[in-house]
Amino acid sequence: MAIEEPQYTVIEQQAPYELRAYAPHIVAEVLVDGDLDSASNSGFRLIAAYIFGGNQARASAANNALSGSSEKIAMTVPVSIQPFDPATASPNQKNQPVLEAQKAGQWKVSFLMPSQYTLATLPVPLDRQIQLREIPAMKKAVMQFSGFNSAEKVAEKTAELRLWMEQKGLKPIGEVQFARYNPPWSLPFMRRSEVLWQY
């Protein structure tokens, strides 16, 4: 069975780069501390616990009632992570990305929620750290790559994406996002990873 990904339309393709128009979607996200690797791992575990049953299912979306049972939510891809700076975070965040230099700090780790759900029908997380949020439609520049991932490699790909965007006359908005589509045991040459930047 195919694993669900965010819905998008390719506006322009120039491998390994793409410009995409993303449809609105819902994510479960959590803020975690650490470096890129440790934050990815701890964030993944927290949200995985939510989708595998650490939640209270909705008995009725109409009155927002909760049932006494939990609900398993289908796994999706990718698992995404991006830096979070509480001093600059706002709905109109336009601060310069810091992923290239950031070794430790706060990170926002997120999972796509299956498209069958709305905010009113998603199970409620038992862990209050997990937030459910609707992401509006937006355009992103993307660079895809394979192989092992490290903070240094992500920084390198981020710099390449920034340069390509500059050449296209596109201005990055907010923080760059790093997305992983495969489990850790996947062979390096079969891994799909991306850096994405809203513009």
Q: Which amino acid is at 82?
A: Q
| pLDDT at 86 exceeding the cut of 80 | no
Measure the CA–CA gap between 21 and 65, rounded to whole angstroms.
35
Largest CA distance in the chain: 55
- More confidently predicted of 185 and 73: 73
Measure the CA–CA gap between 74 and 35, rounded to whole angstroms.
28
Q: Convert the pLDDT of each residue in 30-78 to its tens digit.
A: 999 998 889 999 999 999 999 999 999 988 656 667 777 999 999 999 9
| pLDDT at 182 exceeding the cut of 90 | no
Burial of residue 34 (CB within 10 Å: 0-12, 13-18, 19+) is middle
For the chain, first and last CA: distance in Å? Answer: 33
Q: Convert the pLDDT of each residue in 107-128 to its tens digit.
A: 999 999 999 999 999 999 999 9
Measure the CA–CA gap between 67 and 60, rounded to whole angstroms.
8
Q: Convert the pLDDT of each residue in 15-36 to its tens digit.
A: 999 999 999 999 999 999 998 8
Per-residue model confidence (pLDDT) at position 162: 97
CATH topology (fold) of 8-198: Multidrug-efflux Transporter 1 Regulator Bmrr; Chain A (3.20.80)
Kindly state the DSSP code that residue 182 receives in the 8-state scheme: S
Residues 6+ apart with CB under 8 A from 105: 33, 83, 84, 85, 98
Per-residue model confidence (pLDDT) at position 68: 75
| pLDDT at 1 exceeding the cut of 80 | no
Per-residue model confidence (pLDDT) at position 97: 41
Q: pTM for this structure?
A: 0.85
